Chain A
Amino acid sequence: MPSISQQPHKFDPPLEPDLTSGKYVKIWHGPQHPGITGNMSLELTICGDEVAHCKTHVGYLHRGFEKLMERRTFIQNFPVVCRIAVPEPAFNEYLYAAAIEEIAEIEVPELAQWLRVLNLELMRLASYLMWLGGSSGSFGMTTVYQWTVTHRDYILDLFEEMTGARIYHMYITPGGVRAKLPEGFKGRVLKVMQGVEKLLYEVEKVVFNNHVFKLRSQGLGIISKDMIDEYGIVGPNQRACGFERDLRKDQPYLVYDQLDFEVVTETESDAYTRAWVRYQEMHQSVSMIRQVLDKMPEGGSFHADLPNVLHWNVPAGETYVKAECTRGEYGYYMVTDGSEYLQRIHIRGPSYTHAVSVMEKLAVGINIADVAGLMVSLHTYPPEIER
């Protein structure tokens, strides 16, 4: 037990209970568990079926990206970064490119900026569809998972055409993008969007107007207002708590300032509300995608003129660039020294807090059957924790 003089801060992780008391059992949730995102694991101490303590472990994924990138030339890193968030590689591609472009003062052609937004919003939608499936699955509605993954696959078909690959697109490269849109592509995007909208209509009926889902998710994992800044909570997790913060609106990058959209906010801040925020943002992405197709320039260059990438000395500099991914602010901090290699790169994905400190706090006191649902409601990708 802590002594009086060591009064814990209100956000310190709860202390581990006394295992010798005989009241507790320790179990491992993950790293191989269908209800876990990525191959993380949770070390749970339970009392009956109530979680008394949760400790997170991400140590099954360490891949040392940041170090690896110091040993690759600038162009060679471009295919590396997408692997940092498997279901959502495009944001990493964009931020890596944006950091270099800022340091090297490269101006990205207008067409490329629109194509990037198209790519990023399609990505957001695909990622949310995957999440929606995972979330429904975790609350026992695996049928919905089949539906959303199908429509995600239709978006992957679009990626395949647009970028040459379904998952690791390697499309947004420093200086622009790698290709222009294929013939007739816009029409195919619109068709997929129609399908997604129909799906969302069904999902609303089946998931959000579902008494069982409400029973299980409303009131689960409530994030209080004072936690938001203390824990660095971002994205839908904070918007569901009433904070109107979205980098696309607050510090518009690319061509977001030319798109018409409102930041989605709600107030209940539980698992249900977070899901509902994401659900609305899916509609929002569909609308943005339509706007982009409508407004983007027909032609023009899609790639800035770069030096020969085999001898590319990016000037010495330092920058932090950020973008709003599905889970909130994603940041790249980059330091260059004028050589052909990065001096240092630090990548900060939102999962760092959401999956570790926030999860450890919110898990305490919930039913063990809701652990998976809680975890998914925070929408985390462990690879970006151990980069």
Chain B
Amino acid sequence: MPKMKLKDIISPFYVWQRSFEKPYTNNKPIDERPGAPSYRGFHVNDIEKCVGCGTCETICMNNAIDMVPVENLTAQVGDSGLRPRFDYGRCCWCALCVDICTTSSLRMSNEYAWVTDNPDDFRFTPGVDEKPWDDHPLGYRRDPDYSLLKLERPAMTMLSAEEGLNSFDEVVHGFTPEQAIVEASRCVECNICVATCPAHMNIPGYIKTIREQDFEQGLRLLYETNPFSSTCGRICTHRCEDDCVISHLGKPLAIRWLKRYITDQIPAEKYQQILQHKITENGKKVAIVGAGPGGLSAAYFLRLKGYQVSVYESAEKAGGMLRYGVPTYRLPDDALDKDIDYILSLGVSIHYQTTVGKEIDFQVLYDENDAVFFSTGLNVPSGLRIKGEDHPRVLSGLQVLCDVASQRDPGVGKKVAVIGGGNVAMDAARVCRRIGAEVTILYRRRIEDMPADPEEIEEAQAEKCKFVTQAIPGLIEKAKSLKQVVIQWGEAEMVADDNGGRPRPVLQEDKMHTDSYDCIISAIGQAGNYSFLPEDIKQQLVSQRGKFTVSNHQQTSNTKVFIGGDIANKTADAISAIADGQNAAIGIDEVLSLGMGTK
């Protein structure tokens, strides 16, 4: 037992001192105490910014979030149309959902007290269902210096601009295995890209196979929707990447390069064994005009359904613009052949150098087959519509590219002007640089208005193509030498459009220039050639702004005739043509096997 000390008796009376202090507690509700500025209070969501990617739902370990449709909000490009609904019976306010939100739309208020007599109120969609804290100060937000998402792409090795100029070798090298895994792991599997992709490829699915190193499964997934995966893995316009949710805060996933990575891992001779396509003949015949991506994609999907498919192609080789337009430094022949060879291996037959309308009549195909699909592409260059454009030194971009692809000398000389701002113009310019010409690109508007892919523009700049923008061609004249041509062009001023459209270039008559070149390459667009169509069928087809009008399954008002590719879709790129091919196969099959019309 401790010895009793006087100090130990007196000292505890110190307690009394405290009686004179004011209480420490808050006098609620008279005194309110707001949460700290970073308090993890109740959720708020900026409904306009949120794209309904559902990443918040994925990370929540309490299953407190459900993605639900919201009234007056419809799914659009890059937006699922769903919004997160929270269940406060489950939430633990960890704010992982806030940290991972791909758009930073999701945040928290600093409010922490809420009373309601209706238990259903605790399940709500922030930003849609009004809540008392909606106009409270914000609480927790992700610190901008930290992110649960991976926002940067691994740098892909490429030929330098100088190396590129010395050859037609592929510029982009493709990911290394380490890079591919890092890139594949950036995906949040929201599926928004799937909706954007014209062919609705299972993008998160095949990206996952890279993470899991199961490339055979990857190839099978690719071939569910796209028989041109090796090609698209190189030159696709990758609309999917525009809508990749990671692009809201960082660099979108390199979906195109990942697709290429899968196909690069598997040699052509293994395709058959992996894909194991078994074909049961159904005894019906379909004719296809044009062996471009549209035609061959239709052939592939029809063949899988058991149709006997004959393709008619005027060129010597298959591939359409992918072979005769896209230069090999972007798409090497063997990458394209890998895709085409597999399609042919399924028993698709191609009649090469057989122009429909010349070597064989469309009517014959129409009569001898159960259905006809055509995807003949845009191969007639549009004119410049200026005086003197019939000068022999004015060449078309398509012709130059076709010559180079066919190993012919396009005869462009040493000093070239390319007119146009689209991908064909960039390709023609870069091809000319590779065969040793100095290139000037003349374009009516500004660089940011160019329809060409930004990467193409950058690479053309790196390869020292000279860009002269806001330049309107006025007149083409003979030069002193027959090997040259003179162009007069004027500077343009960009004038705001009163109707809110994009600014228009207006020629300034006093700022005219005259230059002479060895040739002028016109690359301002192209149109289709339909002279092969018999008059009665032409009458049945409807077209609008140069494109045929078709059903969702590419059917025309003649139920036996289906159209796809550049001549039918507005986007005019390979993947749209491939998607059209698949849709046409579905449509043709519906009509022929089920005897129904298509939607």
Bound Cα distance A215, B5 (Å): 12
B20 interfacial contact with A, CB 8 Å: no
Establish whether residues A182 and B2, one from each chain, have CB atoms under 8 Å apart when the complex forms: no
Q: What is the minimal beta-carbon distance from B143 to any residue of chain A, in angstroms?
A: 5
Chain B residues lying within 8 Å of A215, measured Cβ to Cβ, are 1-2
Interface string of A199-240 (1 = CB under 8 A from B): 000100111011110110011000000000000000000000
A164 contact from B9, B40, B58, B148, Cβ within 8 A: B40
Chain A residues lying within 8 Å of B14, measured Cβ to Cβ, are 202, 205-206
B94 interfacial contact with A, CB 8 Å: yes
- The segment out of A28-36, A251-259, A282-290, A306-314 that lies at the interface is A306-314
B145 contact from A73, A75, A157, A301, Cβ within 8 A: A301
Establish whether residues B59 and A164, one from each chain, have CB atoms under 8 Å apart when the complex forms: no
Establish whether residues A79 and B61, one from each chain, have CB atoms under 8 Å apart when the complex forms: yes
B window 112-127: CB within 8 A of A: none
Number of B interface residues, CB 8 Å? 46
Establish whether residues B38 and A309, one from each chain, have CB atoms under 8 Å apart when the complex forms: no
Chain B residues lying within 8 Å of A214, measured Cβ to Cβ, are 2, 8
Chain B residues lying within 8 Å of A160, measured Cβ to Cβ, are 35-36, 39
A window 266-296: CB within 8 A of B: none
Chain B residues lying within 8 Å of A309, measured Cβ to Cβ, are 59, 100, 148
Interface string of B41-83 (1 = CB under 8 A from A): 0000000000000010011010000000000000000000000
Chain A residues lying within 8 Å of B9, measured Cβ to Cβ, are 211
Establish whether residues B189 and A310, one from each chain, have CB atoms under 8 Å apart when the complex forms: yes
Which secondary structure dominates where chain B touches chain A?
loop
Bound Cα distance A310, B17 (Å): 57
Which secondary structure dominates where chain A touches chain B?
helix
Bound Cα distance A168, B35 (Å): 15
B329 interfacial contact with A, CB 8 Å: no
Establish whether residues B148 and A165, one from each chain, have CB atoms under 8 Å apart when the complex forms: no
Establish whether residues A164 and B185, one from each chain, have CB atoms under 8 Å apart when the complex forms: no
Establish whether residues B143 and A179, one from each chain, have CB atoms under 8 Å apart when the complex forms: yes
Establish whether residues A210 and B11, one from each chain, have CB atoms under 8 Å apart when the complex forms: yes
**Given A218-B2, A310-B59: A164 touches B8 (CB 8 Å cut-off):** no
Establish whether residues A310 and B58, one from each chain, have CB atoms under 8 Å apart when the complex forms: yes
Bound Cα distance A302, B24 (Å): 34
Establish whether residues B185 and A311, one from each chain, have CB atoms under 8 Å apart when the complex forms: yes
Bound Cα distance A153, B24 (Å): 10
B36 contact from A75, A161, A207, Cβ within 8 A: A161
Interface string of B1-29 (1 = CB under 8 A from A): 11011011101101101100000100000
Chain A residues lying within 8 Å of B17, measured Cβ to Cβ, are 202
Establish whether residues B150 and A307, one from each chain, have CB atoms under 8 Å apart when the complex forms: yes
A76 interfacial contact with B, CB 8 Å: yes
Interface size class of A (residues with CB under 8 A): 35 or more
Establish whether residues B96 and A76, one from each chain, have CB atoms under 8 Å apart when the complex forms: yes
**Given A164-B140, A205-B11, A205-B14: A306 touches B96 (CB 8 Å cut-off):** no
A117 interfacial contact with B, CB 8 Å: no
- The chain A residue with its CB closest to the CB of B6 is A211
Chain A residues lying within 8 Å of B58, measured Cβ to Cβ, are 310
Bound Cα distance A73, B61 (Å): 8
Q: What is the minimal beta-carbon distance from A65 to any residue of chain B, in angstroms?
A: 13
Establish whether residues B145 and A302, one from each chain, have CB atoms under 8 Å apart when the complex forms: yes
Chain A residues lying within 8 Å of B95, measured Cβ to Cβ, are 164, 170
Interface string of B160-182 (1 = CB under 8 A from A): 00000000000000000000001
**Given A182-B38, A210-B11: A165 touches B143 (CB 8 Å cut-off):** no
Q: What is the minimal beta-carbon distance from A320 to any residue of chain B, in angstroms?
A: 25
Q: What is the minimal beta-carbon distance from A232 to any residue of chain B, in angstroms?
A: 30
Establish whether residues B8 and A211, one from each chain, have CB atoms under 8 Å apart when the complex forms: yes
A165 contact from B12, B40, B61, B149, Cβ within 8 A: B40
Q: What is the minimal beta-carbon distance from B223 to any residue of chain A, in angstroms?
A: 24
Bound Cα distance A167, B12 (Å): 32
- The chain B residue with its CB closest to the CB of A204 is B11
**Most interface-central of A182, A202, A205 (chain B CB within 10 A):** A205
Chain B residues lying within 8 Å of A178, measured Cβ to Cβ, are 99, 143, 146
Establish whether residues A211 and B139, one from each chain, have CB atoms under 8 Å apart when the complex forms: no
Establish whether residues B59 and A209, one from each chain, have CB atoms under 8 Å apart when the complex forms: no
B188 interfacial contact with A, CB 8 Å: yes
B380 interfacial contact with A, CB 8 Å: no
Establish whether residues B12 and A210, one from each chain, have CB atoms under 8 Å apart when the complex forms: yes
- The chain A residue with its CB closest to the CB of B207 is A311
Interface string of A51-69 (1 = CB under 8 A from B): 0000000000000000000
B15 contact from A73, A77, A143, Cβ within 8 A: A143
Establish whether residues A75 and B8, one from each chain, have CB atoms under 8 Å apart when the complex forms: no
Chain B residues lying within 8 Å of A307, measured Cβ to Cβ, are 150, 182, 185
- The chain A residue with its CB closest to the CB of B8 is A211
A103 interfacial contact with B, CB 8 Å: no
Closest 10 CB pairs of A and B: A76-B61, A79-B94, A211-B8, A209-B11, A164-B40, A214-B2, A160-B36, A161-B36, A303-B146, A205-B14
Q: Which residues of B contact A (CB under 8 A)?
A: 1-2, 4-5, 7-9, 11-12, 14-15, 17-18, 24, 35-40, 55, 58-59, 61, 92-96, 99-100, 139-140, 143, 145-146, 148-150, 182, 185-189, 211
16 CB contacts below 8 A, A to B, read A79-B94, A163-B38, A168-B93, A176-B146, A180-B143, A205-B14, A206-B12, A209-B8, A210-B12, A211-B5, A301-B145, A302-B145, A308-B186, A308-B188, A309-B100, A310-B58
